[in-house]
Structure 1
Amino acid sequence: MNTPRYHALDRLRASMMMLGVVRHAAVNYVPTVFFEWPYRDSEADMLSYWVVVFIRVFHLPVFFAIAGFFAAYLVETRGTREFLRHRWSRIGVPFLVAWPVLA
């Protein structure tokens, strides 16, 4: 089965991942205790705070929107039964295997 590749969504996802790296790096320099982080630099500034807040507003919602788009696409192209079987094999089985090991 040859399915189309959504290059724009690939680029959007990669951009959001890079913004996640920027956000996690900037949290070290946030002057408030609003963000719990194990390390806090003494040279904190408000620019880092606003970078973190700005990225935090849309970062994860974009990932959820992309996941929702592809979930709807898979249900439409493969059907509900095949979608659930695929999700179970990709998420459910590794979860059940890892659960006793990590618990």
Structure 2
Amino acid sequence: MEQTERYHSLDFLRATAMYLGVILHVTILFGSPDRILWNFYGEYYQDPIDYQITWGIHLFRMQFFYLIAGFFAEMVYLKKGGKYFSLNRLKRILVPFIFGCLIIYPLTLGVFAVYNAELNGMSYLEQSLTFFLWECFSDTEYNPRITFVHFWFMWFLMIFYVIHVFGRIAFLGWIQKTKISHFITCIVDYCIDKRCGVFLLAGVTFCFHITVRSSIFLPDESHLDAALNDLAYYMVFYFFGVGLFHCKNFFS
């Protein structure tokens, strides 16, 4: 049996972040009604502690997922090659993304629109079918734009994968010649190896925090035309993860 190298610490952190997602979606039910529209579920109680837990988790959780995605993307690409990596990500990311947009998305909107006057009198299934393919087959305009709701994470991730693969194919020689890859690796190594390195990464992300609508909730444009400031913000973490893979001393 072929032995495969695993980073158990990263596997553990990734699993922990997934469990934090369960906690987040429980505490979010007690959040502020001016930010979260959960009050249509009936009697509502706001709890400030749960509210802070929600945003405390979301402040780092998605950024961490992109960092881990970049790390493992670089690892698989170098070990298995570009063709294997591309086919693997098509199967593991694109297929679930399409399934989610076609099935999960309309079922979710069917719940959110339970008290919508335009859909009054419809059953839950009829409401959900209204949102199939972003209301292309209905006369409603509940959500007129092509949105991905929580699947924005996978939409952004596919964009990063495309940039990653085509960047390697088209510019790898130039990147190595100009030693840009070495420069990026040195920056990442500095951020994780030096005590003051965390302030460098914090300073970079702070610049994005000024421009994004909210770093602790869905991007302002989780649509087909992804907002460039949100895209660039999460791309920093993705390629930080790519550089982290080359910092072998971090895991030694």
Instruction: Give TM-score, length-normalised by structure 2.
Output: 0.35
Larger Rg: 2
Partner of 1:63: 65
CA distance in 1, matches of 2:67, 2:45: 36
Partners of 2:89 and 2:17 lie apart in 1 by: 23
The offset of 1:49, in angstroms, is 1.2
Match runs of 1:70-85 below 5 Å: 70-85=72-87
Q: Deviations over 1:41-65 (max 9, x none)?
A: 5331211111111111111111111
Contact 1:29 1:40 in 2 (8 A): no
Aligned to 2:243: none
Which residue pairs with 1:22 in the alignment?
Answer: 23
Q: Deviations over 1:48-86 (max 9, x none)?
A: 111111111111111111111110101111111221122
**TM-score with structure 1 setting the length:** 0.79
Structure 1 position 91, deviation (Å): 3.9
Structure 1 partner of 2:227: none
Q: Is the 8 A contact 1:29 1:49 kept in 2?
A: yes
- Aligned-pair identity in percent equals 32
Greater helix percent: which structure?
A: 1
Tell me the amino acid that sits aligned with residue 20 of structure 1.
G
SS at match of 1:2: coil
State the partner residue of 1:12: 13
Where relative contact order (Cα < 8 A, 6+ residues apart) is larger, the structure is: 2
The number of aligned residues is: 101
2: distance between equivalents of 1:67 and 1:78?
16
CA RMSD in angstroms comes to 2.6
Equivalent AA in structure 1 for residue 33 of structure 2: T
Gaps of 5+ in 1: none
